[in-house]
Structure 1
Amino acid sequence: MEDKRELFEPQALRDFIYGVFMYFDVPEEDALLATDVLAYSDEHGIDSHGIARLKTYFGLLQAGRINPRPRLQLIREKHAVVTVDGDNGLGLVIGPKCMEIAIEKAREYGTGSVAVSHTNHFGAAGYYPLMAVKHDFIGMSMTNTSKGVAAFNGKEKMLGTNPVAMAFPTLKEPVVLMDFASSTVAYGKVEIAKRAGKKVPIGWCLDENGQATEDPERMINGGALLPLGSSRDGSGHKGYCLAGMVDILSAVLSGANWGPFAIPFAINTASSDKQVGKGIGHFFSVWDVDGFREVQEFKEEMDEWVRTLRAAVPLQGAQEVLIPGDPEWRAYEVRMKSGIPLQMEVVMDLKAISQTTGIPMP
C-alpha cells in the first residue's frame, strides 16, 4: 500500500492545534504551550508524537479524562529536588512548567531535579532538555508510558516505551540532542507502518503468541514491543534495564503508576483495575555547566567533539556519520520551507475534529 501524504503549512497546523485546545477551555497561555510542544515533533520530523496524537488528546479532553485547567502542587521539596502533582493536566503543559522548575533550581543550586506524578503523555521527550540548553545548561527528561513492551525474556506487556532525552549546549555547532525510546522502536512507528500498510522489521515486535512478527496489527492486537536490543543476542537486557530506570525515576519516585499499571494514553483502552499511584510520571534534571567548568571552554570542546565524530570514516554504503540531533535539525530546515507531510489517516482525523469543533481545517 502506498504511503500517501499531504503537505501542510507549519503555522497553519499550529493554529489548528491551538484552536482545539482553546475549544476545551484550556487557558490561552497553556494552549500556546501545548501547541508548541506538539508542533515541535512534526516540525522536527518526529511524526509519531506530533499532530497525529491530537485525536487522542481531543478524545481524552472530550471525555473529561484530562483536566484542562490544572493547578500544579509542590508536594515535597528539599533544596534542588522537588516532587510535583500535575493535577491530571495535559502533559504538554505540565512538562514544560516542571522543566522550568528544574531550570530555576539549577540556577540556584547548580542542579535541579523534578519528579512528577498525576500527569499525562508529554509529547516528544527531546523538547524539554532543549529548554535547558537555552540557558547554557545540560538538560534531561524522561517519562514512563502505558505498557506496551515485554520484559526481557517475557512475552507479556509490562513496561512502556519509556523514552529518555538529553541535550548539551555547543558554541557554533548544532546542539547535541539524544532522544530515544528504551524499546527497540517507539510505538508510534508501528502505528505509522500500520497506517501505511507496511511490514515492520523482525526484532521490533512480538505477536500475541510471543513470536517475532513483521505484522504491526499482530503487535497492536495482543502482542508487544521488544526492549532496546531486542533479543539476548542483541543485548536486549540493556534496553530492559534502561526502561526500568526510567520507570522508577518517573513513576516509583514521584508516586505515579509504574510498570503495567501506568495509565493508558489511548482513549479506547481500559485502565488496569489496580492503581499504585496517580496518573503517569515524568522526571526532569538540569545541570549548570558553569558549576563544572568554564561555559565557553565546554561549548568550544563540544564543538570539537561534534567535528571529530562527524569526521569519522563512514561504513561502506553510508554517506556520513551523523551526530545525535542531526535528523531533527535537518528535518526542521526542510519542513519549515516545504511543509509538513501528514499521512492521509491523520488528515481524516483532523477533518473529523474540524467538523465537530467548527475549527477550519488547516
Structure 2
Amino acid sequence: MSNTDFTIFSSTQLREFTTEVFVHFDVPYDDAILAADVLAYSDEHGIDSHGIARLKTYFDLLRTGKINPKPEIKIIREKSSTATIDGDNGLGLVVGPKCMDIAIQKAKLHGSGWVSVCNTNHYGAAGYYPVMALKDDIIGLSMTNTTKGVAPFNGAEKMLGTNPLAIAFPAYKEPPIIIDLASSAVAYGKVEIADRKNEKIPEGWCIDKNGYSTTMPSEMINGGALLPLGSDKDGSGHKGYCLASMVDILSAVLSGANWGPFTVPFAINSALPEKQVGKGIGHFFGAWEIDGFRDKNEFKTNIDEWIHTMRNTLPRPGTSGVLIPGDPEREAYQLRMRDGIPLHKEVVNSLMDIASYTGINIPS
C-alpha cells in the first residue's frame, strides 16, 4: 500500500467530527462525547477495525431509525451484585459504558459486580470497558455477542459471532495487563481491511461458501465464514468454539438478547434473521475489588513481578521476544498521538459521504 492510500488525522479532529455526527442524529451531547470516546479508543490504540471506520454503519442505522438515539436504560432484574439491563435499543457505544459503570459501582459496594445487557447494539472494542475499571484499581471484564459470521467447530456455515472478550488487571509501577481478543481466528474487521487493501489472508482464518479453506477475503465475505480460534482439529479449534459459546450464553442467553444465528446484524443492508429469540444483541460486564481477595498493593506488586518475569523470557529465534498483553496497543497509542491517525481512503470516502449528508465539515 502506498502512502497516497492514507490520510493522517489528529485524534482531536476525529473525536470532534464523530461527536457532531452523533449529535446531528439527536444523540444527547454527553452521550455523543461518550460514543466518540469509545470509537477514538480503537483508532488511538491501533484497533482500526473498530474505530471511525465503523462510523458509517452507526450513521446508516441512526439515519434510518434503527437505533434509538435517546434510550431509557432500565434495570429489569437485580440483586446486590448482579443486574440485567434493557438498553432500549440504544447505541452500544453509550449503553455499554453506562452498564460497565454499574458493574464497577456494584463492585465498590459488594466486592464484585456482574451486569448482563439485552436490547443493545454493537459496542465497539471490548477492551475499552475493562480499562474503565482500572482507574479505581478494579479488575474489569467485558464481552459481547455479535452478528453471525463464524462457523462452529466442524461446521460449514455462520452460526456464531466473533464474540470478543476482554479483561484488565492493574499493575503497580508497570502498565496494566489488558487482554482483548475475539473468539474467532481473527476479527471480521481484519478480513475487511485485507479486502480493502486487495491482500490475501493467512490460511486458517476463513472458509468459503462451500466450507473449504480460503485465503481470499472476498470468498469469505461473499457467503463464507470465519473460523473459530484454533481453526480446525489440528489447531484445537474446538477451544475457540467453546469460548464463543460461553460469550454467547453469558451475553445473550443470560440477558434475554438474541443469540447465535438469530443475533441482529450490524449492517444496514443485511437481511434480518428468520426469527428473533430475544431483544437486540447482548453484553456482559464484570468487576472485582482486589481487596476482597488480598491486599491490593501486594497484588499490584506481584503483577509487576509477573510482567518482569514474562518480559525476561528467553525469546524464540527470529522474534523480538515476549510481549505483555496490551503492549502493541500502547505502542500504537504513543505513535498515533504523536504522528496522527492514518485512515484508508475508503474510510475517508465514507466520512465524506457522512459530511455531505449532515453538512458537518470533514476534518482537513
Residue 10 (structure 1) shift: 0.9
Q: Which amino acid letter does the alignment assign opposite residue 73 of structure 1?
A: K
Encode CA deviations 1:43-99: one digit per residue, 9 max, x unaligned: 000000000000000000001000000011100001101000000000000000000
SS across alignment from 1:40: helix
Match of 1:10 in 2: 11
Corresponding residue number in structure 1 for 2:237: 236
Aligned twin of 1:203: 204
Alignment correspondent of 1:57: 58
1:178-197 CA distance string (max 9 Å, x none): 00000000000000001111
The equivalent residue for 1:173 is 174
Match of 1:287 in 2: 288
CA shift, 1:142, in A, is 0.1
How far apart are the structure 2 equivalents of 1:299 and 1:260?
A: 41
Q: Matches of 1:225 and 1:33 in 2, distance apart?
A: 31
1:284 corresponds to which letter in structure 2? F
After TM superposition, the structure 1 = structure 2 runs for residues 186-335 of structure 1, keeping only pairs within 5 Å, are 186-335=187-336
Equivalent position SS for 2:233: coil
- Aligned partners of 2:108, 2:61: CA distance in 1, in Å? 36
Task: Tell me the distance in 1 between the aligned counterparts of 2:134 and 2:294.
Answer: 16
Q: Letter of the aligned partner of 2:321 in structure 1?
A: E
CA shift, 1:313, in A, is 1.1
* 1:109-146 Cα deviation digits (max 9, x unpaired): 10000000000000000000011111111000000001
The letter of the residue matching 1:307 is H
After superposition, the C-alpha distances for 1:323-360 in whole angstroms (9 at most, x for unaligned) are 00001111000000000011110011011111111111
Cα offset, 1:262, TM superposition? 0.3
Q: How do residues 61-100 of structure 1 correspond to structure 2 at under 5 angstroms? A: 61-100=62-101
Q: Secondary structure at the match of 1:218?
A: helix
- Distance (whole Å) between structure 2 residues aligned to residue 186 and residue 49 of structure 1: 10
Rounded to whole Å, the distance in 1 between the matches of 2:345 and 2:156 is 33
- 1:2/1:196 contact within 8 Å kept: no
RMSD: 0.8
CA distance in structure 2 between the partners assigned to 1:361 and 1:315 by the alignment: 46
Count, aligned residues: 362
Provide the residue aligned with 2:355 in structure 1: 354
- Per mean C-alpha deviation after superposition, the further-off stretch among 313-322 and 154-163 is 313-322
Distance 2:167 2:326 in 1: 10
**TM-score, with length taken from structure 1:** 0.99
Q: Map of 1:62-141 to 2, 5 A cutoff? A: 62-141=63-142
**Take 1:270 and 1:159, find their aligned partners in 2: how far apart are those partners?**
16
Q: Hey, what's the Cα distance between the residues in 1 that align with 2:260 and 2:245?
A: 8
Separation in 2, partners of 1:357, 1:212: 42
% identical equivalent positions: 65
Q: Which runs of 5+ in 2 are unaligned?
A: none
Report the Cα offset of residue 273 of structure 1.
2.4
Letter of the 1:88 counterpart: N
Query: What is the CA–CA distance in structure 2 between the aligned matches of 1:147 and 1:85, rounded to whole Å?
Result: 22
**SS of residue matched to 2:241:** helix
User: Residue 204 of structure 2: SS of its match in structure 1?
Assistant: coil
SS at match of 1:158: coil
The whole-number CA distance in structure 2 between the counterparts of 1:257 and 1:275 is 6
For 2:221 and 2:267, the matched residues in 1 are separated by 12
Distance 2:160 2:302 in 1: 37
Distance 1:287 1:28 in 2: 31
Partners of 1:25 and 1:273 lie apart in 2 by: 31
Q: Which runs of 5+ in 1 are unaligned?
A: none
1:42 & 1:82 partners in 2: Cα distance? 31
The structural deviation recorded for 1:2 is 5.0
- Give the secondary structure class of the aligned counterpart of 2:235: coil
- Looking at structure 2, the residues matched to 79 and 174 of structure 1 have their Cα atoms a distance apart, in angstroms, of 32
Alignment of 1:11-50 (within 5 A): 11-50=12-51
CA distance in 2, matches of 1:2, 1:277: 46
Q: Secondary structure at the match of 1:285?
A: strand
Letter in 2 for 1:325: G
